[in-house]
Structure 1
Amino acid sequence: MKVEASSLTPQEVADLLKITKNTVYELIKRGELPAYRVGRKIRVERQDVEAYKKQGKSCELTPHQDAAPYRTPPAGPPNYQQEEASAYRQGLVLCGQDILLDILTRHLERHPQGIHAFRNYGGSFAGLLALYQDQAHMAAIHLWDGDTGSYNIPFVRRFLPGVPAIIVHLAIRMQGFYLAAGNPKNIKGWHDLTRPDVRFINREKGCGTRVLLDEQLRRLGLDRHLITGYENEEFSHLGVASTVARGEVDVGMGNEKAALQVRGVEFLPLHKERYELVIKQENLHHPHTRAVIEILQSDEFKKEVQGLGDYDLTETGRIVAEV
């Protein structure tokens, strides 16, 4: 009886977090929410849901698998360095969080020159660092430089010193604010974050959304210490949007896609961002690299992504820079 009382069905988790049941399965699949089977049924421990609500959960490196909607949690603490090194030797390791990358890995495994794809759901800084340390083959990033007004190129050069790289365009997405339905606090832009009556939830340091926020604050001369909740972090767009939907905060930042997945959240568009894939130039002629670029340029891939909404795919698959 105690076990049953402490466990929740995916629908009950969805109701608690104010998200769809399919989104719960996506969180479980990505490893952000541990789950287990009881017969044919999936269950989630209540304490894991509470932990996710409070601070989010970073995801371990996992192979992309369509067949399994959940991942059984490991028996003990994982050795991330050892797992990443093993994955790097066995197949292709791709860093990034967007669902677009899930679609890419699925297409890659069906490609004639396909390869087993592992996903690392870290942020942009973590992805570039993994690339530099030979723990990943590709990293998807969205890092805005406030001095030049450009995306990604300045950061690739800083994070990959002496390492020639190419940047392949994935999509243009819209970044903005997640707001409660009806926008009761009448939040209209960056300056409103410093109002004493506005509660904010931040993203973790090193992710593209956090970089965009901090660069905008710097450019506008806004003091981050005046933002109530600036120090509180979530580790995914969905986590931020869900926190807003539950009424724990008034505003958070993320891309439009997550706003479409969470009930009771409005989206205020603020900034178009370039989401792009970084690959070491020395790997450009490897079969799996050629396969990835071929997939990104294919009509089949673009049609599937376009069906999700919130993506401008005009330049998808184009090599936009050699850095």
Structure 2
Amino acid sequence: MSDISYTTEEIASLLKVSKLTVYDLIKKGDLIAYRVGRQMRVDAADLEAYKQRARGGVSPIRLDQPPSQSSVSTADRDIVISGQDMALDILTRHLEGHDGIRPLRSYIGSLNGLMAMYRGEAHIVSTHLWDGDTGEYNIPYVRKILVSHHYTIVNLVSRQAGLYVQKGNPKKLTGWSDLGRDDISIVNREKGSGARVLLDEQLRLHRIASSDVHGYQNEESSHLGVAGAVASGCADTGVGIEKVAYVVGVDFIPLIQERYDLVILKTPDNTMLLDNLLRTLQSSAFQSEIKAIGGYDLTHTGKILYENR
């Protein structure tokens, strides 16, 4: 049993609780976990030890409990913030401790984050989903997924997205239409990520079938992974953000200014959370730290871009 370990998703499935509950158990020290890269894992022996203690009187919170009885409504709140950008890690640190907020990070993509919010498993969801029909970021997707919910969309940052290419751009790529060339191979992002949606929308608009794109099925779970694959020669190109190109050491072709927004549900429990979020985003301390990193446009940071009533 000592050689077996589980992801947080597997733990949630085994215990029949939400991932939020699993994060809460880890945060409180009730469930021992360790990090492998960006992933949290729990050894089978530690899971069994927790279950034995739970049988002695500790009952995990179930997904089917009414919201008023769940941990989401407690005074000291564990807040799940989903997404992968470094700006979210900084935001998490700045929110820590404000009015009892205990931020937890979930490194899932934009679409999966919105679905988690729909299921009540995420509180602040980051999203950069481009709609090819309207040329608009995020709002069309939020409207479709968070049906019957009231929500606020706030800008986090804007950033350049485009194609990673090897140093010197040996294949002379210039834009989206080059992805259909026979001599070009790509590395893709995972389903549900904003970069994957951007690629799929651009292929659709340029009338390029995904089956005609060499390497379309090859996936990485982060911008770093995509840029690294291009740098190592495993692929000619991949979609990502400009900042990572400098970190990894590949060239970058900017193709679109993407808006990276935050979504939060408008509920009585979230009133104070939204106030704290807006104050943090608009604060000089937060913005100074983001500016120091470079690669972000903070023109609209902390601005409410859309809310339904």
Q: 1:234 aligns with which of 209, 220, 223?
A: 220
Mapped to 2, the partners of 1:229 and 1:78 lie a distance apart of 39
Alignment deviations for residues 270-312 of structure 1 (CA, whole Å, 9 cap, x no partner): 1111100001111575323211111001111011001111111
| C-alpha contact 1:177 1:269 (8 A) present in aligned 2 | yes
Q: Which residue of 1 aligns with 2:272?
A: 287
| C-alpha distance 75-84 of structure 1, shift in aligned 2 (>3 A) | farther
Shift of 1:259: 1.1
Find the counterpart in structure 1 of residue 3 from structure 2: none
- Which letter maps to 1:150? E
Q: Note the C-alpha offset of 1:74.
A: 2.2
Tell me what 1:210 maps to. 196
Identity rate, percent: 47
Q: After the TM superposition, which parts of structure 1 deviate over 6 Å for at least 4 consecutive aligned residues?
A: 82-87
Q: Distance in 2 between matches of 1:98 and 1:106?
A: 13
Question: What residue is the counterpart of 2:94 in the other structure?
Answer: 107
- 2: CA distance, partners of 1:198 / 1:157: 36
| Larger deviation, residues 88-97 vs 185-194 | 88-97
- For residues 150-180 of structure 1, give each alpha carbon's deviation from its aligned partner in whole angstroms, at most 9, with x where no partner exists: 1111100111111011100111111011111
Measure the CA separation in 2 of the matches of 1:297 and 1:176.
28
What does the per-residue CA deviation read over 1:41-84, in whole Å, with 9 as the maximum and x for residues that have no partner? xxxxxxxxxxxxxxxxxxx9676xxxxxx8364213999xx899
The CA distance in 2 between the partners of 1:220 and 1:107, in whole Å, is 41
Q: How many residues in Structure 1 have an aligned counterpart in Structure 2? A: 255
- Secondary structure of 1:296's counterpart equals helix
Q: Deviations along 1:191-230, whole A, 9 cap, x unmatched?
A: 1111111111011111111111111111121222111001
Distance 2:61 2:186 in 1: 35
CA 284–177 in structure 1, closer or farther in 2 if over 3 Å, else same: farther
How many Å separate the matches in 2 of 1:220 and 1:316? Answer: 32
Q: Mark the structure with the bigger radius of gyration.
A: 2
Distance of 1:183 and 1:154 partners within structure 2 = 34
SS of the counterpart of 1:200?
Answer: coil
Please, which runs of 5 or more residues in structure 2 have no aligned partner?
1-7, 9-21, 28-33, 48-59, 64-69
Q: 1:87 to 1:139 in 2, by over 3 A?
A: farther
CA 226–75 in structure 1, closer or farther in 2 if over 3 Å, else same: same
Q: Judging changes above 3 Å, is the alpha-carbon distance between structure 1 residues 283 and 129 closer, same or farther for their aligned structure 2 residues? A: farther
Counterpart among 43, 50, 54 of residue 75 in structure 1: 43
**Cα distance, 1:317 vs structure 2:** 0.5
CA distance in 1, matches of 2:273, 2:256: 33
Deviates more, 1:115-124 or 1:254-263: 254-263
Equivalent position SS for 2:120: coil
Q: Within the alignment, does 1:152 sit opposite 2:138 as a pair?
A: yes
| Coordinate RMSD, CA, aligned | 2.5
Amino acid at match of 1:225: S
Give the equivalent residue in structure 1 for 2:206: 220
Separation of aligned partners in 2, 1:217 and 1:87: 43
The two structures have a TM-score, normalised by structure 2, of 0.77
Could you tell me which residue of structure 2 aligns to residue 180 of structure 1? 166
